Amino acid sequence: MKRKKAETVIGIDLGTTNTSSATVDQAGNPRPNKQANGSYMEPSVLNIKGKDVIVGIEAENMRAIEPENTVQHPKRELSIDTPDGSPPIVHVDESGKSTSVVEACAHILRAIREHAEMVSTDPIVSAVISVPACANEAQRQRTKEAAKIAGFNEVFIVDEPVAAALAAGASDELSPGQRMLMVDVGGGTSDVVLITKDENGDLTASATSGREDVAGNEYDAKMIEIITAQLIKEGISQETVNDPSMKHHVLDHARKAKHDLSRTTSTRIALFIDGKKVVIDLTRDEFESATKDITDQIMEIVARVLTENNVTPNEVNIVVPVGGSSHMPALRDRLMKLFADVRTPEDPDLMVAMGCAIAHGKLLEAAGKDIQTPDGKPIPALPGGNFNTCAGFSLGCKAFNTGSTIAEFAEIIAKNSTLPASNTQIFSMKQLGQNQVDVAVLQGEPGQAPDDCLLIDTLHLTGLPPDDGKGKARIEVTYDYKADGLVVVTATDLQSKKSVTTDITHYIATPNS
């Protein structure tokens, strides 16, 4: 019998600031891939002029001279919706041609895939791509859509801190019953996940939480605020400070200063503007004081994960901070005061990509496929047990309690449920004579008003036997949340057996208002 062709293993960390990829060697160890610029990370920046699109370091270098053609941080826009429900537009060129956030991310992923194929013996047809643990369903599915546009036939989604845990060797480092806390602070998001190892050696994400508005970009913004205030004080006009090219120039200095203060206790920022030299001296203590509220909010995410899982800091065996902003001493100091064992990985910026590569290999193995290195060498069975993710949010529908006129969010899949998860609830008709039902599929939290939840889809059951008030009219709603992130929702009228199903893989989520 002819064996199926092996698939090349690749994992991609689609980052807000930088994007990276990795593969697995013959020994099963993850290895980061060098990108087109010669480094292991490619800036998530695009320069768009009509049909010509430049991705990465070259686009980043053109920001100051062509700000109107520059798209930065498109990943942060993946979870945002427009009034008509379509993905947001991140760029419009002179001819009026628009580029959506999905298309922008597709350009980045395509560049990563095409460069990886330059050193691969075979086309790369599938991948694991990371998303923030706090990513909503819209962001997860738009990431998949971007990957399909970029040329991947099959795409798996893994939460960033879960991937990082695989790269951190959670399978080897933990004994059964022990816990590892991953604190992933990147450029655009901060995610925390608690990983537990069971008696079978399998890893399970038992609690997760995060925010998309507290991360490295917020530290950058504070540094920009400090620099801008000094520029104004030195007599630089507000018009000059607000110039798009000047903003990119200040951003570059802000990031360099932030990185400097992660290595040394002081830094000097020197800018030449309109023939004038402006010098700003800043200490690490001053910057940490100015950004304490940001660090506090990250630590609040840590506390929330522990609380949701009824775990104390003493019950966490290992803590691993990863992501670009994990280099910051203030964050590491706060973690070390709270936990006994805080590890420093060799490549905190690349942990997610390397974990995605491990996840890709394991998922392909689980599907019965042979796997290989980029140069075509077969990879034996990967070490370590299986890994299970958890739901980062609750899913449910809009419902009314008996006799109430106020709608509520009825939770069907609870946050932090281990995936795959399935649950069913049965609802009665709201009114006598009712012969149709609309089931609003919502992402929310218990106690949240339906209008404040995220509307994912709506199922319509029509032509039903009218409700006669005798309790025969009952609607069974089943949510099936699969390990690969696919959500299948089925609504069935138990009297007529009529049923309708939605397969939530490619949809556009809109705020329910």
Residues 364 and 443 in one domain: no
Torsion of CA 328, 329, 334, 338, to 10 degrees: 110
Most confident of 35-39, 84-88, 266-270: 266-270
Domain count, the chain: 3
How far is residue 418's CA from residue 207's CA, in Å, rounded to a whole number?
9
Q: Residue 45: CB partners within 8 Å, gap ≥ 6?
A: 55, 56, 59, 60, 63, 70, 71, 72
Q: Measured in whole angstroms, how far is the alpha carbon of residue 173 from the centre of its chain?
A: 25
Q: What tokens appear for 3 in the block?
A: 């064996």
Which of 342, 363, 381 is the C-terminal boundary of a domain?
Answer: 342
* pLDDT attached to residue 19: 96
Residues 149 and 197 in one domain: no
Which of 279, 308, 342 is the C-terminal boundary of a domain?
Answer: 342
Confidence grade of residue 58 (pLDDT, cut at 50, 70, 90): very high
**What share of the chain has pLDDT > 70, as a percent?**
95
Residues 338 and 350 in one domain: no
Q: Residue 444: CB partners within 8 Å, gap ≥ 6?
A: 393, 394, 396, 409, 411, 450, 452, 453, 454
Which of 329, 354, 389 is the C-terminal boundary of a domain?
Answer: 389
* pLDDT attached to residue 402: 66
Residues 504 and 425 in one domain: yes
Residues 61 and 159 in one domain: yes
What is the span of the domain harbouring residue 36? 1-168+345-389
Residues 7 and 116 in one domain: yes
How far is residue 228's CA from residue 385's CA, in Å, rounded to a whole number?
51
Residues 110 and 186 in one domain: no
What's the order of all strands across the beta sheet hosting 179-185?
A: 318-322, 179-185, 190-197, 203-211, 387-388
Distances (CA, A) of 11 to 56, 324, 372: 18, 18, 13
Instruction: Give per-residue pLDDT as tens, 276-295.
Output: 889 999 999 999 999 999 99
* pLDDT attached to residue 229: 93
Q: What tokens appear for 213 in the block?
A: 């508005």
- Mean residue pLDDT of the chain comes to 88
Residue where the block lists tokens 């140069």: 375
Could you tell me the CATH number of the domain that includes residue 430?
2.60.34.10
Residues 324 and 382 in one domain: no
Residues 385 and 262 in one domain: no
Read off the pLDDT of each residue in 340-346 and give the average, rounded to a whole number: 92
* pLDDT attached to residue 507: 35
Q: Is the pLDDT at 505 greater than 70, yes or no? A: no
Residues 299 and 350 in one domain: no
Neighbours of 299 (CB within 10 A): 18
Q: What are phi and psi of 63, to 5 degrees?
A: -55, -45
Comparing 248-252, 336-340, 389-393, the range with the smallest average pLDDT is 389-393
Q: What is the pTM of this model?
A: 0.87
Give the three-class secondary structure for 335: helix
Q: How do beta strands 154-159 and 454-461 pair? A: unpaired
Neighbours of 404 (CB within 10 A): 10
Give the three-class secondary structure for 336: helix
* pLDDT attached to residue 2: 40
Could you tell me the CATH number of the domain that includes residue 50?
3.30.420.40
Residues 334 and 360 in one domain: no
How far is residue 231's CA from residue 241's CA, in Å, rounded to a whole number?
8
Residues 198 and 320 in one domain: yes
